[in-house]
A and B are shown apart, each in its own frame.
Chain A
């Protein structure tokens, strides 16, 4: 197959993945709806029949796995079209980022029942891919000389996986804050009664960060080693580097606050959201409006 056919194939895989994410979103919406449906004869939550919601959750997850696999094929096909790893521009970062994000969710699902997040995860993946393919799309192109290095694979893989897990932890921290405010007010909404206790969310969000923080540290170090061989300095406060540093320091503060001072709950969740938003800002702002050495070939 020629490179152009691979590129078309990649686009088709990405479009199919979007379709399946949309289906998964719909099914998760039904799941949530059925979980809210109050049975005839009272609002006793103990007596509620959740079999329909459970079935929907299973279908939703299966669809999510299918969408993940389609997107994986899309990313691989993009790499084959390029003749190099598909991390040369923001379109490629976005589709790989969506892959890492849903991948982190699916892996976390093996240990924790997070299917209630499916509605949000599928929507986030859908929006990311939609933005990528409409606004950020660039034709498959060769790598510029500065990116031709083994460090591209090492540095970028570590950064993308870290990003996926950071964002997942952020989503859970966000859910924590929402449920916490509801519990202190009118109580949890009907659809959320089956969601895990606040403590579980709190702990899970922390565990994800603690797990991935060393990987983020590694990504920054790998980037520094690469920068030394490409630009002649391992650290130069380029905007991307500055924000990577800010993210690192913010998560370091978060971990200290939790482990050493014993922050929990609301305060910890806010700090987690702040740290995660610095990562997102780095991705969006520095790539689109920023100057500096991390901007290549348009976007």
Chain B
């Protein structure tokens, strides 16, 4: 006996503890605390820069205060929405939700199939108690009323009980189950989705291969084999601006696309109208200017030729960029800025006063030495690390002009616009959308549906008793009881 106990007790204890923990987790109070925690835990995600949205700002954070940044990073402060503590909160919340909703769903399904309860003995104390003089047809008329209004009914000798409004609980359950569907959609998207960015200059063609991207991220369970075949050639990019306020009015990228079957098609990509290739969608995300330059050595051999994408800095598209010529010896770099409509400002120097190409000008300083391209450290394509270099000249050019420096020349040929395309595949999004719509429908049903019972009984003296019971919204029941009494009396 004693031995048995010693063996058994811990087991029961563990089971009991598990049951206790489960009951605690699925209690409404815990769910409420988790909900508030979720709200509070999201706050740092909006106050601190987030790595997946603004990696540059995170780097700046590290540069200005390395110690603080390191600690924030240890607490996943720069990746709040994928942080373990954030995941813990929402996973617990969803477990709690499932633990709460599933038993209720089963209960509800049973209830929906059950008949309404028997008419209580004493109706007097219930809502809207009314006595009507009977003529014998009341039950038939009541039956007709209940049928017409979709009540569930139970017929008894001399009385009917009717119930309606399971809608409310159905909506409530639908709402919570739909939230699970949204979470499933989000998970599918992050496991099987992909997103990539590519810059293409006018005249260039983008082919959907991993190597064509400037940046590309996959979901955990997918890879570059999932990229479908298509290509996009940028024929022309047109940006329209308001001449008074300089605000952009319209961006249109005129492209020729080629799909898997080799069908060529002329299409337009705009900011709110992406292209679709099977499960992938292509979005117009950004644009800028790419000066086309030719760099020659002192005997006239071409060391570099082509468009260089510059990064816009303000709404008038003053842009910065760098032209790197590793083929020259010693290596040459042009630290540059480009303005589409040039004006000289006494304080700021060269500024752009309009985003269109009215008076384009390329400004640069020429540096000679080691570009540092072989160090293995990834470099920005827009800047040059000039620590190992010396400045040899400084000038600016309009399109078609040439500048000669010791060791060679640079010609500013023309300017072409570039666009940034984002290619996105999210196989989970339709689940999330359906989840969202169902959640909304469930929410409306649960907030505006109301559950009520109505009883009618013919007393032995021939008088008819009517009464009701509302789980919520008793004002609406009053109204319905009024109609019901009128109907039963035959007044309609």
Q: Does B154 lie at the interface of the complex (its beta carbon under 8 Å from any beta carbon of A)?
A: no
Q: Does B36 lie at the interface of the complex (its beta carbon under 8 Å from any beta carbon of A)?
A: yes
Q: Does B326 lie at the interface of the complex (its beta carbon under 8 Å from any beta carbon of A)?
A: no
Are B250 and A145 closer than 8 Å at their CB atoms? yes
Q: Which of A218-267 contact B (CB under 8 A)?
A: 218, 221, 224-226, 228-239, 242-243, 245-246, 249-250, 252-253, 256-257, 260-261
- Provided the pairs A232-B424, A237-B45 are in contact, do residues A146 and B436 lie with their beta carbons within 8 angstroms? no
Pick the residue among A144, A246, A286 that contacts B247 (CB under 8 A).
Answer: A144
Are B440 and A221 closer than 8 Å at their CB atoms? yes
Chain A interface mostly helix, strand, loop or mixed?
helix
A residues near B242, Cβ cutoff 8 Å: 141-142
Are B272 and A229 closer than 8 Å at their CB atoms? yes
Q: How many cross-chain pairs have Cβ atoms below 8 Å apart between A and B?
A: 116
State A143–B268 Cα separation when bound (angstroms): 20
Are A237 and B281 closer than 8 Å at their CB atoms? no
Are A232 and B274 closer than 8 Å at their CB atoms? yes
B242 to chain A, nearest CB (A): 5
The tally of residues in B whose CB lies under 8 Å from a CB in A reads 49
Are B46 and A286 closer than 8 Å at their CB atoms? yes
Q: Does A139 lie at the interface of the complex (its beta carbon under 8 Å from any beta carbon of B)?
A: yes
Are B429 and A234 closer than 8 Å at their CB atoms? yes
Q: Does A217 lie at the interface of the complex (its beta carbon under 8 Å from any beta carbon of B)?
A: yes
**Interface residues as binary, A158-193 with B (CB distance below 8 Å gives 1, 0 otherwise):** 000000000000000000000000000000000000
- Provided the pairs A221-B437, A278-B39 are in contact, do residues A145 and B45 lie with their beta carbons within 8 angstroms? no
State A41–B84 Cα separation when bound (angstroms): 70
A residues near B75, Cβ cutoff 8 Å: none
Are A250 and B36 closer than 8 Å at their CB atoms? yes
Pick the residue among B39, B54, B81 that contacts A250 (CB under 8 A).
Answer: B39
Q: Does B255 lie at the interface of the complex (its beta carbon under 8 Å from any beta carbon of A)?
A: no
- Provided the pairs A217-B440, A252-B35 are in contact, do residues A246 and B43 lie with their beta carbons within 8 angstroms? yes
B residues near A231, Cβ cutoff 8 Å: 283, 285
Are A232 and B285 closer than 8 Å at their CB atoms? yes
Binds A, one of B25-33, B361-369, B479-487: B25-33
A residues near B436, Cβ cutoff 8 Å: 221, 224
Are B42 and A245 closer than 8 Å at their CB atoms? yes
Q: Does A19 lie at the interface of the complex (its beta carbon under 8 Å from any beta carbon of B)?
A: no
A234 to chain B, nearest CB (A): 6
Are B424 and A213 closer than 8 Å at their CB atoms? no
Q: Does A2 lie at the interface of the complex (its beta carbon under 8 Å from any beta carbon of B)?
A: no
Output the nearest chain A residue to B81 by Cβ-Cβ distance: A237
B residues near A292, Cβ cutoff 8 Å: 53
A residues near B29, Cβ cutoff 8 Å: 261
- Provided the pairs A148-B271, A249-B38 are in contact, do residues A214 and B447 lie with their beta carbons within 8 angstroms? yes
Q: Does A291 lie at the interface of the complex (its beta carbon under 8 Å from any beta carbon of B)?
A: yes
Q: Does B18 lie at the interface of the complex (its beta carbon under 8 Å from any beta carbon of A)?
A: no
Task: Identify which of B46, B424, B429 gathers the most chain A CB atoms within 10 Å of its CB.
Answer: B46
List B residues at the A interface (Cβ < 8 Å).
28-29, 31-32, 35-36, 38-39, 42-43, 45-46, 49-50, 53-54, 57, 80-81, 186, 195, 242, 245, 247-251, 270-274, 281, 283, 285, 422, 424, 426, 429, 432-433, 436-437, 439-440, 443-444, 447
List A residues at the B interface (Cβ < 8 Å).
139, 141-142, 144-146, 148-149, 210-211, 213-214, 217-218, 221, 224-226, 228-239, 242-243, 245-246, 249-250, 252-253, 256-257, 260-261, 278, 286, 290-292, 297
Known: A256-B31, A261-B29. 4 other contacts (CB 8 A): A142-B247, A232-B422, A256-B32, A257-B32
